[in-house]
Amino acid sequence: MKLKIAIFGGSGYGGSELLRILLLHPNAEIKVVTANEHAGKAVGDVHRNLLGLTNLQFTRAPDDLASLADLDCAFLALPHGQAMDLAPRLSESVKVIDLSGDFRLNDAEAFAQHYGQKHTAMNAQTQFVYGLTETNREVIRTASRVANPGCFATATLLGLAPLVANNLLSCRVIVDAKTGSSGSGAKPAANTHHPQRSNSFYAYKPFTHQHVPEIEQELKSVGEWDHELVFMTHSLPVARGIFSSIYTETRTEISAAEARAIFAEFYRESFFVRLVEGSPDINWVKTTNFCDIGFAARGRQLVVFTAIDNLVKGAAGQAVQNMNLMFGLDEKTGLMLTGSNP
């Protein structure tokens, strides 16, 4: 079975990773890849790592989306605000996976507050399910519309879900999360351009990051969540990777080994979650769809460490993992991606 696929927004880092993964996916055939500013250019000329792997060319997104009704799946790798215009116009027969934040939040006011614009397609939003594969696997299997999680949200939720599901937390949770420069997108800005940040380190969006409401929204669906979340993000002087230190306090004393056993049971069917001794390392997960999780404990204090590739497990890889589920494929299909050493 070859799924006929469109990628809207193929010139950015998320689109590039979708192409890298789907070009080698045994059940995928990319029929359309759009990038208005690169329309007419060969994919391999824009993404030089894909040179010689495809003859695809970028096209402009068609005005009449009804012409794409013969597609099986459309990935929307567009800037925030664009998918809410496009998704409602796609045929209901086409399954949609949105990598932006347009359909993650159930609350229009929360969206406006955190994304700085009014949501214009809340009716369509009700059709979307939240695509954190490891917590929503069964719902995703039958979904036709999936809102792919944010990268920070993925790293944070995978580190908190087992604790919330087992009602183990006793007080506020502090998340100290750091990301590489690719998280800011392909177009450089004054404070995100890698030469500017490659030898720098700083916090940004304190208390206001747009992934906070989706983290809390999903935690409430996992279990009882009524704790304060202190969420801080930082710019890491590397290109890829997110590393999160999640500081918690449990109701009773817990050892790192006991925490590991709880996580092992919760993720027993989750191939892409790996439990490691001590601290994970972003070098171990770069270019892969894995989330590595480690633990440190002292009495009731438990720290959970998570590491992901922000462009793969935090974006394109998880999107393909969700596509696999939506079409009845093994969720590992096309995602057996190894990292490198060093």
Token output for 167: 């009602």
The Cα 213–Cα 295 span in angstroms is 25
CA distance 100 to 210: 11
Helix or strand holding residue 13 (H, E): helix 13-22
Number of Cβ within a 10 Å radius of residue 327: 16
- Please, which residues have CB within 8 angstroms of residue 62's CB and are 6 or more apart in sequence? 68
Cα dist. 319→105, 158, 199, 262 in Å? 17, 16, 32, 26
Q: Round to whole Å and give the CA distance between 228 and 282.
A: 27
Distance of alpha carbon 319 from alpha carbon 7, whole angstroms: 12
First-to-final CA distance of the chain: 36
Identified catalytic residue from 73, 151, 171, 291 = 151
SS3 297: strand
Residue 291 appears among annotated catalytic residues: no
Q: What distance in Å separates the CA atoms of residue 318 and residue 337, rounded to the nearest whole number?
A: 12
Look up tokens 């993720």; give the residue. 267
Closest CA relative to residue 187, chosen from 49, 62, 38: 38
Q: What residues are annotated to the active site?
A: 151
